[in-house]
Amino acid sequence: MKRHHKVLIVGGGPAGSAAARTLAGQGMDTALIDKADFPRDKLCGGLLTQRSRNIYSRIFTDSWKPVVDYTARGVKFFHQGKLLNEVENASELFFTRRMAFDQFLLQQAVTAGTTPYLGDALVDLDIHGKTCQLRSGTKISFDFLIGADGVNSLVAKSLFGRAFEPGTVAFALELEVERAGTLEAVRDPEIHFGLARWGYGWVFPKRDTLTVGIGGLHARNPELKQVFEDFLVTRFGRLPEGRIKGHHLPFGDYRKVPGRGGILLCGDAAGLVEPITGEGIAFAMLSGLYAAEAILEAAPRGREALPGYQNRYRQITRDFDHANRLRWLLFPSASERLFLKALPRSTTLPLKHLELMADQIQYSDYWRHLMFRAVKSLARRALFIK
């Protein structure tokens, strides 16, 4: 069976659904394929920031309240089990279950007119012939293609020979812990430093469970599973029941050129995960929106979509460049020690980071704030040494 769609999107996560909702909402002939039947799960902490909320409401019309499982206004920061600092009454942090969230986004894309091909994987892509084949044998031709097929993207592999660079990708492990089996009531999310190298651990509260995880640069954390199990035992007094699951995630190493001609990469497929926090949902949705806008602009003029996408994409990657520089103040062991010394004394450091995630300050402001602190601390040390 052979079909044709003006725009074909591979992947029904936040990136693919955001693109599909935007395109179909403008009357563009749009189809979306996903290897999974929905609802499907995706390993994720499910943290949605205010930034996510702002981006979500630029694209989708329904209130996201039905798929927000838990809301918090504070964060606790730990180092090797010891509470270092906590923020209370900050801007809201939302927690969702990806099973429900992704289904909710996809449903809105379908309601807007997207043709879904679910439970059928892309297995072959002919970039020059602009055709692809699904596992079922269905062949689809297209004018534009959006690769929103996650970190193991077949579209990215077809374009560039590899989905991601093994040396710069991160790996994360998670376990869903039933609240009923834990002794204390966890109200606020927890961030745990000193567990993973170039990464951290987390306990994210949901209504009935706690999503506990650890993640860091894959190449620097060969013992991650053991470290995670030790963390779980320390945190809960025993190894909680359930299966520990793992998944790669991009971590700062985004695609400098996110596609070719009429083929665009979005979300994890383009490497768009924030290099410090690991936040990816917001940037997946935003890049999906940008890819759709670039296609809507290029299609009537018979042009390639990549230049228009790259202009918009740079707005995301400019911030990632700031964050990539900031990582050198946080993650290498020497600067991590300084950061961990500063954190308990600082009222502004964690608050500023939350303001950044809430879109209330820009990365450039945050960078200036940290540099100012670093210079102040060095000057103080120099005076002390003299």
Residues 6+ apart with CB under 8 A from 377: 338, 342
Query: By CB under 6 A, what part of segment 212-231 binds ligand FAD?
Result: 213, 215
Residue 279 binds to ligand FAD (criterion: CB under 6 A): yes
Closer of 25 and 267 to ligand FAD (Cβ): 267
Question: What's the min distance (Å) between Cβ of 249 and ligand FAD?
Answer: 4
280 binds ligand FAD (CB under 6 A): yes
Nearer residue to ligand FAD within complex by CB, 286 or 373? 286
Question: Is 150 near ligand FAD (CB under 6 A)?
Answer: yes
Binding test (CB under 6 A) with ligand FAD, winner from 7, 31, 122, 298? 122
Work out how close the CB of 130 gets to ligand FAD at its nearest, in angstroms, rounded to a whole number.
Answer: 17
Contact between 174 and ligand FAD per CB under 6 A: yes
Q: Which of 5, 21, 35, 352 binds ligand FAD (CB under 6 A)?
A: 35
Binding mask of the shown chain, residues 281 to 310, with x at each position contacting ligand FAD by CB under 6 A: xx-x--------------------------
Segment 245 to 264, residues that bind ligand FAD, using CB under 6 A: 247, 249
Q: Closest CB to ligand FAD belongs to which residue?
A: 280
- Per CB under 6 A, residues contacting ligand FAD are 10-16, 33-36, 42-47, 121-122, 148-150, 154, 172, 174, 213, 215, 247, 249, 267-269, 273, 278-282, 284
